[in-house]
């Protein structure tokens, strides 16, 4: 099913006030009759460092538009000095059509200059839609716990893999999680590994092995391997010594277990550069029962859509995070 997306109006001006942007946005919507009906579910606020990131964020949001009709505010916050505050803005209104149903969504890109960069909450509040949740998305950075933007947000979406110098990123996310609900896109991307592994133990035959897991080996990048290891350590109530983490380009999990005198190896891995994940069950060295899952396309938008669908805390992620911190310590 394909969506027809049309841009029905755009506006751009430098050195403007928030009120002028609001007026321009209302004007754009008035010109499109269908756009007069709003069916938004949230306000999404993205904070990026430069225009290229802003364009990338808008591309992701374009894919997202049909799933989460929203107003998106992209804040471009450079490394300017703390000089005179100013705002350059562009606003675009789009209509998505599918089978005769049309909805509209809009994005506003605001380049924030000077000291206003330290008061982004005051910029954002003017644009948030009434009575709807505000999701704060930081594609490649983490806010500090005292960031005033956090007061304007109901949910924080980050990507622990994309944060530069990520040594302590999980610990910093853990601190932020005490203040508001945090979704980590890196964890969302690991969902196929988790669901495939969990599925291996559905049904009566393999279930007994779950209580007999004695060793877990997780490979992958820094961050993902810790999260997967932490998740398994906590879920299966294993001692820290039962979990081995090794660096690798792609994530893989191997569970070694015994049950009723039988030994079982349960593996979920992404072989090479293929966009697929393979599982294998090996009981007593017998024939491997394999399953292959194709990874979906459009990962960035799908991950973000999945993150925005969630409300409340992700208890499993919290558990994985706590385990990951123990494994990293």
Chain contacts with other proteins (rule: CB under 8 A): 1, 3, 37, 39, 41, 66-67, 69, 96, 98-99, 101-103, 191-192, 194-195, 197-207, 210, 232, 235-236, 279, 281, 287, 289-294, 310, 314, 316
- The answer to whether 303 touches 188, Cβ cutoff 8 Å, is yes
Residue 111 half-sphere exposure toward CB, CA atoms < 13 A: 16
Query: CB-wise, 113 or 225, nearer to other proteins?
Result: 225
d(CA 35, CA 28): 9
How does 122-150 read in b/e, with b if 16+ C-beta sit within 10 Å? ebbeebbeeeebbbbbbbbbbbeeebebb
Query: CB-wise, 34 or 119, nearer to other proteins?
Result: 34
To the nearest whole angstrom, how small is the minimum distance from the Cβ of residue 256 to other proteins?
Answer: 15
To the nearest whole angstrom, how small is the minimum distance from the Cβ of residue 329 to other proteins?
Answer: 23
To the nearest whole angstrom, how small is the minimum distance from the Cβ of residue 15 to other proteins?
Answer: 36
Distance (Å) of CA 98 to CA 1, 2, 47, 95, 278:
8, 7, 30, 10, 35
Please give the structure tokens belonging to residue 120: 């982004």
| Strands lying side by side in the sheet with 262-269 | 243-247, 213-220, 252-259, 262-269, 276-283, 289-294
Positive or negative, the CA dihedral 71, 77, 83, 89 is negative
Helix (H) or strand (E) holding 13: strand 4-13
Query: CB-wise, 98 or 240, nearer to other proteins?
Result: 98
First-to-last alpha carbon distance for the chain, in angstroms, is 47
Query: CB-wise, 96 or 176, nearer to other proteins?
Result: 96
Query: CB-wise, 146 or 204, nearer to other proteins?
Result: 204
Query: CB-wise, 149 or 283, nearer to other proteins?
Result: 283
Query: CB-wise, 13 or 290, nearer to other proteins?
Result: 290
To the nearest whole angstrom, how small is the minimum distance from the Cβ of residue 308 to other proteins?
Answer: 11
To the nearest whole angstrom, how small is the minimum distance from the Cβ of residue 126 to other proteins?
Answer: 24
* Residue 191: alpha-carbon gap to chain centroid: 11
To the nearest whole angstrom, how small is the minimum distance from the Cβ of residue 203 to other proteins?
Answer: 4
To the nearest whole angstrom, how small is the minimum distance from the Cβ of residue 232 to other proteins?
Answer: 8
């Amino acid at each position: 099913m394909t969506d027809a997306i049309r841009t029905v109006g755009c506006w751009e001006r430098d050195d403007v006030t928030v009120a002028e942007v609001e007026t321009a946005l209302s004007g754009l919507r008035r010109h499109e009759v269908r756009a007069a009906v709003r069916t938004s579910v949230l306000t999404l606020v993205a904070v990026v460092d430069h225009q290229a990131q802003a364009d990338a964020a808008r591309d992701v949001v374009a894919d997202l538009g049909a799933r989460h009709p929203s107003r998106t505010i992209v804040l471009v916050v450079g490394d300017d000095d703390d000089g005179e505050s100013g705002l350059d803005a562009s606003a675009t209104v789009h209509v998505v059509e599918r089978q005769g149903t049309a909805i509209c969504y809009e994005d506003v890109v605001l380049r924030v200059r000077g000291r206003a960069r330290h008061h982004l909450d005051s910029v954002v509040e003017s644009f948030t839609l009434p009575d709807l949740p505000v999701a704060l998305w930081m594609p490649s950075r983490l806010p500090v716990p005292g960031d005033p933007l956090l007061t304007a947000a109901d949910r924080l979406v980050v990507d622990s893999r994309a944060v530069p110098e990520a040594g302590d990123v999980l610990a910093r996310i853990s601190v932020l999680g005490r203040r508001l609900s945090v979704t980590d896109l890196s964890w969302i991307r690991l969902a196929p590994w988790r669901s495939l592994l969990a599925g291996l133990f559905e049904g009566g035959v393999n279930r007994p092995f779950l209580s007999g897991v004695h060793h877990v080996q997780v490979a992958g990048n820094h961050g993902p391997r810790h999260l997967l290891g932490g998740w398994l350590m906590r879920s299966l109530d294993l001692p820290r010594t039962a979990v081995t983490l090794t660096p690798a380009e792609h994530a893989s999990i191997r569970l070694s277990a015994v049950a009723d005198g039988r030994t079982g190896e349960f593996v979920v891995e992404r072989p090479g550069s293929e966009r697929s994940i393979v599982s294998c069950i090996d009981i007593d060295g017998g024939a491997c029962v394999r399953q292959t899952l194709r990874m979906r396309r459009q990962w960035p938008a799908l991950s973000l859509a999945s993150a925005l669908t969630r409300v409340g805390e992700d208890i499993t992620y919290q558990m994985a995070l706590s385990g990951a911190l123990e494994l990293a310590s």
